[in-house]
Amino acid sequence: MDNRLFFPATQRNRHCIGDVLSRIIKTNGLILEIASGSGEHGVVFQKRFPRIIWQTSDPELVHRESISSWINYEDLNTKMPQPIFLDVEKIPWKIPLNLINSLQGIICINMIHVAQWPSTIALFKEAGKLLNKEKFLMLYGPFKIGKQHTSQSNYFFDKSLKMQNSLWGIRNLEEVSAEAKKNDFFLEDIISMPANNFSIIYRKVS
Ligand SMILES: C[S@@+](CC[C@H](N)C(=O)[O-])C[C@H]1O[C@@H](n2cnc3c(N)ncnc32)[C@H](O)[C@@H]1O
């Protein structure tokens, strides 16, 4: 059955996110993608970085079914693992040991503003436990900087998020980075991306 979902933003941001990844993915190994959504990013990045194993995840069954359909549609079944259930707040994360051993980085695209703040706290806590020294955690999405929105469109986007769920909203980069620091990450890079988004690269200290 074809359960593919189509998230239009992935069409617009896949290439520029891939360009950032091409700077930080250096070796073989496994990338764990948190909140993979439709799976469109996953299959695109698996094809762009064929030496990497791209492990998708999502808490929603409908999303995991979409990811599986995308893997099938792109004929990646022999290369790319099936998505796993992962809700960042259900800690400790249940990740198979063989995946953890080859983990070189974690990426989380457009999640922390559509989840409550404890999700961000849990994300850093668990990623900090899983990642070894010099491994990366990359976030992509809109952020406030110095508690200020970086554009008027983000201001309105933030308002619309809070109308959908009062616990959602665009996060302050400084508060996110404070969580990173608590969990032994340093802020390596802040990269401005199209449409007032950012790629934020955190790196494990030890
Ligand atoms: C806006 S979508 C982004 C999906 C995809 N990363 C993309 O950029 O198209 C937000 C995603 O976050 C996931 N999500 C929400 N809360 C989550 C949580 N607590 N743990 C993991 N994923 C979560 C949703 O299931 C959804 O797939």
> 87: CA distance to ligand 1 center in Å?
9
What integer best gives the mean pLDDT of the chain?
A: 97
CA–CA dist 154, 150 (Å, integer)? 7
Is the pLDDT assigned to residue 171 strictly greater than 90? yes
Percent of the chain predicted with pLDDT > 70? 100
Residue 5 has pLDDT above 90, yes or no: yes
CB-ligand 1 contact for 184 (6 Å cutoff): no
The predicted pLDDT at position 27 comes to: 79
Please report, for the chain, the start and end positions of each structural domain, with discontinuous segments joined by +: 8-204
User: For residue 137, is pLDDT > 90?
Assistant: yes
CA distances from 134 to 1, 27, 54, 81, 203 (A): 41, 13, 19, 25, 6
**27 vs 14 pLDDT, higher one:** 14
- Ligand 1 atom nearest to CA at 60: 25
Alpha helices by DSSP H, listed for the chain, are: 8-24, 40-48, 61-73, 97-101, 117-130, 152-164, 173-182
Q: What's the gap in Å between 62 CA and the centre of ligand 1? A: 12
- Per-residue pLDDT averaged across 118-130, rounded? 98
What are the tens digits of pLDDT across the range 105-116?
999 999 999 999
Residues in the chain: 206
CA of 143 relative to ligand 1 center, distance in Å: 16
Ligand 1 pocket, residue 5 CB under 6 Å:
no
Residue nearest to atom 10 of ligand 1 (CA): 111
CATH of the structural domain 8-204, one choice from 2.20.28.10, 3.40.50.1220, 3.40.50.150, 2.60.40.10: 3.40.50.150
pLDDT of the residue at 133: 96
Q: Which two structure tokens, joined as six digits, stand for 82?
A: 């099936």
Q: From 91, 111, 123, give the residue whose CB has the most ligand 1 atoms within 8 Å, as the site to mutate.
A: 111
Q: What is the model's pLDDT at position 26?
A: 81
CA of 201 to the centre of ligand 1 (A): 19
| 143 vs 28, higher pLDDT | 143
Question: What's the average model confidence in pLDDT over 119-136?
Answer: 97
pLDDT in tens, 55-100: 999 999 999 999 999 999 999 999 999 999 999 999 999 998 888 8
What is the predicted pLDDT for the residue at 60? 98
